[in-house]
Amino acid sequence: MKTYIVIGGSRGIGKAIVETLLKNHKVVNISRTPPEISHENLTHYACDVLKDELPDVTEADGLVYCPGSINLKPIGRFSLEEFREDYEINVIGAVKAIQNYLNVIKNGENPSIVLFSTVAAKLGMPFHASVAAAKSGVEGLVKSLGAELATTLRINAIAPTVTNTDLAAKLLRNDKMIENITERHPMKKFLQPEDVAGMAEFLLSEKSNSISGQIFEMDCGIVTFKI
């Protein structure tokens, strides 16, 4: 049984990852609010990753950083502060977590880190300037750290398309919008949190031992295909 640190595991994709990992592993969840689940293998620390000192964890085999943002509006309506906030939550928070737990994870079994990007980092979409810029920073971090830590641990990122979570609720708020989102994807579907959790579990496992520095597009075809 391994131990994984999940930051932001109380909602959405993070919650699905926690629930998936708890089937076979111990999970240390760090988030502002506790997950709506209890389990003998689950330890929760209430913490704002950007403002608070991260809790001490003495043993861990991997880290998943889940916090993100979907802040969509025309470029003229974005404030510089909003750009900074998106960069802070997506990039600086991930860097803080990695720096804090790197030495612990290095000593783990088959150590692995999983971060999150978005299809918007590769597919130009209106109103996505801030999140696309921030998540592009995440992708650069994965490539650079993958090289720097190649003999020590693995680091990869998942870049999901629209996923049925609270974070994407504005994009899926009625039947017409759900239909439009579905039709935009060549596979005529969008993601559920459990889909992404399965990929995260794979990237943490021995099954991905030869994979590092990669960005995995879970795009339902929207980036990959033109149909």
**pLDDT digit string (tens) for 109-161?**
999 999 999 999 999 989 999 999 999 999 999 999 999 999 999 999 999 99
pLDDT of 175: 87
CA atoms within 13 A on the CB side of 140: 11
Closest Cα partner for 90 from 124, 53, 117? Answer: 117
* 210's tokens: 């030869």
State how far the Cα of 166 lies from the Cα of 75, in Å rounded to an integer. 24
Domain count, the chain: 1
The pTM of the full predicted model, rounded to 2 decimals, is 0.95
Range of the domain at 156: 3-163+192-218
Task: Please report whether residue 182 resides in a domain.
Answer: no
Do the domain assignments include residue 169?
Answer: no
Residue 26's DSSP bridge partners are 3
Tens of pLDDT along the chain (227 residues) come to 999 999 999 999 999 999 999 999 999 999 999 998 889 999 999 999 999 999 999 999 999 999 988 889 999 999 999 999 999 999 999 999 999 999 999 999 999 999 999 999 999 989 999 999 999 999 999 999 999 999 999 999 999 999 988 877 777 888 888 998 899 999 999 999 999 999 999 999 999 999 999 999 999 999 989 88
Torsion angle (degrees, nearest 10) of CA 26, 28, 33, 34: 30
Is residue 145, in this structure, part of any structural domain at all?
yes
What is the rounded CA–CA span in Å between residue 118 and residue 174? 23
Q: Please give the Cα distance from 175 to 187 (Å, whole number).
A: 18
Domain with residue 58: its CATH number is 3.40.50.720
Q: Quote the pLDDT of residue 90.
A: 97
133 vs 117: CA distance, rounded Å: 10
d(CA 227, CA 187): 10
Tell me if 118 is assigned to some domain: yes
Residue 187 counted as domain residue: no
Domain annotation covers residue 180: no
Q: What is the DSSP letter of 88?
A: I
Domain contains 95: yes
pLDDT single digits (tens) 193-203: 999 999 999 99
> Does residue 208 fall inside a structural domain?
yes
